[in-house]
Chains A and B, each alone.
Chain A
Amino acid sequence: GESVGLHLPTLSVQEGDNSIINCAYSNSASDYFIWYKQESGKGPQFIIDIRSNMDKRQGQRVTVLLNKTVKHLSLQIAATQPGDSAVYFCADNNDMRFGAGTRLTVKP
């Protein structure tokens, strides 16, 4: 079946650096994507979403980029902080499927 997946399982960055987490999807009909953050012992938490009529959306310290041509989206976190350490999932909201997740570790 069609799936949503992530390029990298782990990412380690220095505090203050910018982080980029990537995600690929295969369903060309997908038109709505969500990024979730999951901290240890907690459920996924909504971060930001983007619809297919946009290629960029910004939130507080986060930016999501969508490239429909190559079916790729990314989550950029500016000035990464220790509190950003978590597993990040992208989800295709049409199918409500999630990728395996990328574990972001922020080093002080």
Chain B
Amino acid sequence: EAGVTQFPSHSVIEKGQTVTLRCDPISGHDNLYWYRRVMGKEIKFLLHFVKESKQDESGMPNNRFLAERTGGTYSTLKVQPAELEDSGVYFCASSQGWTGRLIGVNTEAFFGQGTRLTVV
């Protein structure tokens, strides 16, 4: 069974350009999460999809970031326009159950390898 896959693995763009990151979750996983790690600091939550709906987008830093999950399968995270401080590693994770307050559900989250974004 394929794990969580992310594309591209590495992207280098100029400030002001647009970049779209893609995440393919494990088949059957309704829950999809985006995270990012900037400048070697802590991994921060960005948002959480349940199927195609945004369950929690409280971690999105600003309106330059747009996440979508049309059809509840793969998700994209677009950064437009990219700024230097957006450089970092963007991780996607998926889980069968809701890794939150539901107890008793399989809540283990599986992560992709990440996309390293460099804005120059």
Contacts and interface: CB of A to CB of B under 8 A. Distances in A.
A49 B111 contact: no
B64 interface: no
**Considering the complex of A and B, which 9 residue pairs feature the smallest CB-CB distances, nearest first?**
A43-B111, A98-B43, A100-B42, A96-B45, A44-B111, A43-B113, A43-B112, A43-B114, A46-B108
Interface residues of B, number: 24
Contact of A93 (B42, B107, B111): B107
27 contacts: A32-B103, A32-B107, A34-B109, A41-B113, A42-B114, A43-B4, A43-B91, A43-B93, A43-B111, A43-B112, A44-B93, A44-B111, A45-B111, A51-B103, A93-B99, A94-B101, A95-B45, A96-B35, A97-B43, A97-B44, A97-B45, A98-B35, A98-B42, A98-B43, A98-B44, A99-B42, A101-B42
Interface of B: 4, 6, 33, 35, 41-45, 48, 91, 93, 99-101, 103, 107-114
